[in-house]
Chain A
């Protein structure tokens, strides 16, 4: 059920009419109707978030287990593999990253399977902010986006000024997508408005760059918290909500994906604004990727089956997709010697 019932909140008394404000930053911080006044105060925001319907964890697990048994074969599988490749955010987030590694990753992003020109390119290359310039230069006008992680990724433990500087730096270096982490410490101690305001500030610092908000669901403990964090990120103006940094286990599990997809579905139903979804971390096989595609199709529908609205944050996934693609093309099993090592 869409959360249109939440619309009743708009009937509450306004202490302050946000439309009357002229200050841009303040205007940005006001959520879309019908949620204009939920961020009015800490207590109102808490009441709203805790008023979201609870998640039936067992039901969510059963639902994804059932969807995971779908058999996707032959032409559907070929379509799914190509679609999944076009949705990959090819990621390298290691302390040992070098400009050379980013360049080779960029080359792979532009042409994932050099033996087959019909293989689609990936959606983006995801790197640390200081290497965004290298990625931008290597990718040129190929159409592959440059995503950079920022805001003291992966822990998010830095002062806001540092986080915002981190974001501006990444954008300046050429990133057109920013992957930020939320302040889980603030979230878990119930300071929701602080989390919200930080996302608003980061969104502003992003300028034209797309903002993906990483919830780090592995640290949020419950699915109820995942739903709340998703709403905070969407209300604050995030363009994408993303499960994880990939540095914490568990990362992108299917039940978490289901809850987040329900959140973006409900948000669009209520506000008309479509938010993207990006699972990241732990998706290593074609089978996992296809399960996610099935989950999208069955939860939010085909509107989201496009790289503009759905991404896989992954590194090793791409090689498995390519091996499966080669298997479909040649009719025999391929091996790791037939894809690039990265």
Chain B
């Protein structure tokens, strides 16, 4: 009975930058609708200056996050999955509304997203063994290569798959020790907003993940040109702009992950393909036999 008498709590969500929830510097918001066009909530509409602030935050967080032991990073990421599990029902509702899925299909997508997060959490301390190793060299040296994080990675998240797709592009960036500035799906940002709340209440240090709700077309160009961004994932870039973003990224020799022709089936086994682009190989020559 009480439910009918309550005033609706109208939501105007904010960004997630540097571990806090600021409004857009521009003051802009936009309306988010469900798949049928009904109003869901207002979201912050991030501007280029929000992207700038997010990059500063990500750069600031990089030293500590990249220097954390792989084991510790795995624990922190696993903890994120735990908190996501606690928000399971909320994620299901938002994914169902935003993507127009049935309750059971939404549940399957959320389950897959959390499983994906756990899967990447497990990779943190195994990557070095798979991608690095001792190199046999013709000399008295112990020579070995290890994968190292690239730095600040700008991620244009998929536009269709609002949670599973988001997790599938964000988790590999974090697992490899990079920090991220993510531009979420423009039409379906709510699961990303909730993920921001999950990250804020888990053990991920502020600034490691920065979530900007807004337009990938608008922000993509600023992130692609930004001299302090080391890599950019163009998965969610508009098809007609991706080439341009890649050209702009070349100006500061960024690593670029090109977008697929169409959004892939995110439930498929991701393999290592999304982790290796954001790693640098460090090789050490150590004299032996002296």
Contact = CB atoms under 8 A, between A and B. Distances in A.
Contacts, number: 27
Interface residues of B, number: 11
A231 to B, nearest CB: 41
Contacts of B59: 335-336
A338 B225 CA distance: 14
Interface in A298-339: 331-338
Nearest to B49: A333
B222 interface: yes
Nearest to B226: A333
A334 B59 CA distance: 13
A332 B228 contact: no
A239 B145 CA distance: 61
B52 interface: yes
Interface of A: 331-338
B67 interface: no
A30 B225 CA distance: 60
B89 interface: no
Top 5 A-B residue pairs of the complex, sorted by shortest distance between their CB atoms: A335-B228, A332-B225, A335-B227, A333-B226, A334-B227
B55 interface: yes
Identify the interface centre among A333, A334, A335, A336: most chain B CB within 10 Å of its CB.
Answer: A333
27 contacts: A331-B225, A332-B222, A332-B225, A332-B226, A332-B227, A332-B248, A332-B251, A333-B52, A333-B55, A333-B222, A333-B225, A333-B226, A333-B227, A333-B228, A334-B227, A334-B228, A335-B55, A335-B59, A335-B226, A335-B227, A335-B228, A335-B229, A336-B59, A336-B228, A337-B227, A337-B228, A338-B227
B141 to A, nearest CB: 31
A334 B52 CA distance: 10
Interface string B213-254: 000000000100111110000000000000000001001000
B206 to A, nearest CB: 19
B220 to A, nearest CB: 12
Contacts of B52: 333
A333 B228 CA distance: 8
A177 to B, nearest CB: 34
Contacts of B227: 332-335, 337-338
